[in-house]
Amino acid sequence: MMRYLHFTLWGALLLAFSCAPKQTLFEDGRSEYSIVVGEDATLIEQYAAQELQTWIREVSGAELPLVADAQPGKRLILTCEEPEGRDDAFVYANDGGDIRFTGKGPRGTLYAVYAFLENELGCRWYSAKVSVAPRRDSWSFRKLHCQEAPGIRIRDNCYLDPRTKPVFSARLRNNFVRIPSPDGEGTIPGSAEGYWGVHALGTHVPVGKYFKTHPEYFCLRDGKRYGGYGQPCLSNPEVLAITIESVRKVMLEEPDYLIYSVEQNDNQLFCQCEDCQALSQMYGGESGVMIWFVNQVADAVREEFPDKFIGTFAYQYTRHAPTGIRPRENVVVRLCSIECCLMHGYDECEQNQSFLQDLREWGEIAPHLYIWDYVTDFAQYCVPVANWKTLQPHIRDFRDNHAIGILEEGDYQTVSCELREMRTWLLSKLMWNPDADMDALILDFTDGYYGPAGRYIRDYLDLEERILRRPGVHGNCYVHPSDSMFTDEFIQEGRRIFADAKEAVAGQQDLYNRVETAEMPLCFLQMVKNPLLGFQEGADDLVRRVVEREGMSRLAEGAWAGGMMSAKELLAYYEQIREEIDKGIVLPAVAVNPTEKGVEYVRYEGDFMSTAEMLDRGTEVERGTASYIGLTEAQEKDHFGYVYKGWLEASKEGLYQFRITSDDGTVLLLDGKPVLDLDGSHSPVSAFCFVRLEKGFHSFELRYFEDCEGQILEGSLMGPAEPLVPLCDWKLYH
């Protein structure tokens, strides 16, 4: 019976759909339809109508007129009628031949248009430069109905393009930046959502304005009021009154924002006065004092600004959730994920436990959180980040803990982030719908943006998954390009995949360029890890082409994380090592014929700061032969050194690249000449040298010493006949 009923229902539904008469929007470049925007239409409705007109023309060749009214049955009607749901929610549906696009403010109607163009006509806005509008001879429909609401209310996609190109940004349904108004002057009112200010407490209560007359407004530190950049004294009622007045003024003068910052200044100098500390005692720490203060600001503006929020930070000394107090309904708490491991889910990685705990504790007491999330590498923007499998679960965790907004921080200063177009697109889709089908999105983007090379881009993502996310490997947003997670296998296998990808789009210049841009991070890594191979395989040329074509000038957020800052410097560095290679010393072979494999060594002990000091006054404690060069665990950890001597065999004449990483100092001599000098007491450093060797034997001497703390002696060699050989496998004889 149930089965019968089931079939009957399905039958009825199918019948209903198939019986609806077929409506044709356009055919053979012509359309009988008009786009209807009422005379009282808002600017955003007018803008949505223009976008609809533009993209239907791109797809069909037909120009639909924009009119105030038209004959029923052939209308595309744009209205802003506030359907159920949250801000920006929308419905598009047909009513006979008419299609209605109805949205809730501020941008619902516009998003209804974009959703229609994407779902029904196949339009895509993959990047700021690449839009797809598939040409169609005709398009018809019987029944249309699509209803959506954003999963995250404020979607701040902080890559350069969505941050600086508002038209593109709106097409991806990000809503942090404003859309230019149709007359080209200013922006469409009401289209900006987001945050006014950051660390704004100092703006509300400026130390320069008040400290002289009212030092008691500012933090008490070690018994004295502090007149530098500290925090205000939050328990002082006049500080509260000044803050409320200042916030009100900003809210009146700049009404387009959703959240207004009353966030702590960017330092940890909170007030130690008796009243502040009593509050801290009462509410479980400094975050409790802050919430106590911010709640009062929020209470004071609630009636006058019922739809707005007051923002505060859970950051540094206010990071942990308070006890015995909850943020008000109109307070937003901003939490930052900067120390997290990007490569794993919050609940599956040891390094993320502290953030997860804060997220959950705040999520439990705060009606609204705002997450400042880091999704790319900030030591060097182009470093591959294997976080494709965690973007979605992270966003879901934010949503499930009441995130009203997310800032996804990417390469906001430049365009050099790995696969930035795909990251930008995916993050926009996921912030709109955290439950979207991620595999389908990746398939859509890779095939749509890279064409026939799309499947190879997916192979590359699989390679990242297999090698970068291998067990035991973690990465926060400051992974350096020399990190050991980027193995030679990863780089070589990756470049092989990209060779196939480029072959798949040979002759299609636009697609080819996009694939080259995607390969640039691997070439960058190869030039860091193994420049000789990089030169042989054209890695430097590819980096140069991409840097110039994409207009990359900046390669890292700042100098503090040790990455290469400017593209100009990088290219100059490539030139410099190329010159070194070209002029490389040529060493003639020595007429010897050693047959015993391995090296002779002398072990020293003593307190020295360089290999020269070791030879001068180290105590010789051991002498012998070893089958390979390398430090063994069993030896003592500090104040020792070795001199290894033997013969290195060059199996073919040509250029050899030597690379040594050492802690502390190393000097490498070939045929008596120092060719690599890393002497002195220091933490691990790496260096290369390039030497031309005649075929045959060359005398070899490596001096190494360890002062104190960590010790490392590693190396690699690459020659014309051999791939990369680790130090322990060099062909040495004595």
Residues touching Zn ion, count (CB under 5 A): 9
Residues 308-347 interacting with Zn ion (rule: CB under 5 A):
341, 344
In Å, how far from its chain's centre is CA 389?
A: 14
276 touching Zn ion, by CB under 5 A: yes
CA distances (Å), 625 to each of 385, 416, 622, 642, 732, in order?
A: 44, 50, 10, 12, 11
CA separation for the pair 219, 272 (Å, rounded):
7
525 touching Zn ion, by CB under 5 A: no
**φ and ψ at residue 91, rounded to 5 degrees:** -135, 135
Residue 537, classified by CB atoms within 10 Å of its CB into exposed (0-12), middle (13-18) or buried (19+), is middle
The three-class DSSP label of residue 145 is strand
Q: Which is nearer to Zn ion, 207 or 717 (CB)?
A: 207
CA separation for the pair 524, 31 (Å, rounded):
51
349 touching Zn ion, by CB under 5 A: yes
Q: Considering only residues 44, 133, 273, 547, which one is a binding residue for Zn ion as defined by CB under 5 A? A: 273
| Closest distance of CB 152 from Zn ion, Å | 24
Asked whether the beta carbons of 205 and 234 are under 8 A apart, the reply is no
How far is it between the farthest Cα atoms of the chain? 102
Q: Which is nearer to Zn ion, 280 or 530 (CB)?
A: 280
Q: Which residues pair with 146 in a beta bridge?
A: 92
In Å, how far from its chain's centre is CA 603?
A: 48
Q: Considering only residues 89, 201, 233, 570, which one is a binding residue for Zn ion as defined by CB under 5 A? A: 233
279 touching Zn ion, by CB under 5 A: no
Asked whether the beta carbons of 206 and 239 are under 8 A apart, the reply is no
Q: Which is nearer to Zn ion, 216 or 299 (CB)?
A: 216
Q: Which is nearer to Zn ion, 274 or 400 (CB)?
A: 274
Q: Which is nearer to Zn ion, 42 or 235 (CB)?
A: 235
The three-class DSSP label of residue 333 is strand
702 touching Zn ion, by CB under 5 A: no
Fill in the per-residue mask, 193 to 232: x = in contact with Zn ion (CB under 5 A), - = not in contact.
----------------------------------------
Asked whether the beta carbons of 320 and 285 are under 8 A apart, the reply is yes
Residue whose C-alpha is closest to residue 333's, from 285, 304, 306, 368: 368
Taking contact as CB under 5 A, which single stretch among the options 92-100, 233-241, 488-496, 660-668 is the one that binds Zn ion?
233-241
| Closest distance of CB 221 from Zn ion, Å | 10
Q: Considering only residues 214, 302, 319, 474, which one is a binding residue for Zn ion as defined by CB under 5 A? A: 474
Please spell the DSSP secondary structure of 2-56, one letter per residue.
Answer: HHHHHHHHHHHHHHHHHHSPPEEEEETTB---EEEE-TT--HHHHHHHHHHHHHH
Q: Please list, in sequence order, all residues whose beta carbon lies within 8 angstroms of the beta carbon of residue 276, skipping any fewer than 6 positions away.
A: 220, 233, 234, 235, 270, 289
Q: Which is nearer to Zn ion, 276 or 403 (CB)?
A: 276
Residue whose C-alpha is closest to residue 457's, from 427, 429, 418, 486: 418
| Closest distance of CB 386 from Zn ion, Å | 10
Q: Which is nearer to Zn ion, 207 or 457 (CB)?
A: 207
Q: Which is nearer to Zn ion, 235 or 401 (CB)?
A: 235
Residues 431-460 interacting with Zn ion (rule: CB under 5 A):
none
Q: Which is nearer to Zn ion, 233 or 525 (CB)?
A: 233
| Closest distance of CB 156 from Zn ion, Å | 25
Q: Which is nearer to Zn ion, 170 or 242 (CB)?
A: 242
Q: Which is nearer to Zn ion, 172 or 276 (CB)?
A: 276
| Closest distance of CB 365 from Zn ion, Å | 24
Taking contact as CB under 5 A, which single stretch among the options 278-286, 382-390, 467-475, 645-653 is the one that binds Zn ion?
467-475
| Closest distance of CB 474 from Zn ion, Å | 4
Residue whose C-alpha is closest to residue 705's, from 689, 682, 728: 682
Q: Considering only residues 271, 386, 391, 479, which one is a binding residue for Zn ion as defined by CB under 5 A? A: 271
616, containing H or E segment: helix 611-617
| Closest distance of CB 584 from Zn ion, Å | 42
Taking contact as CB under 5 A, which single stretch among the options 275-283, 305-313, 409-417, 450-458 is the one that binds Zn ion?
275-283
| Closest distance of CB 332 from Zn ion, Å | 24
| Closest distance of CB 377 from Zn ion, Å | 14
Q: Which residues contact Zn ion (rule: CB under 5 A)?
A: 233, 235, 271, 273, 276, 341, 344, 349, 474
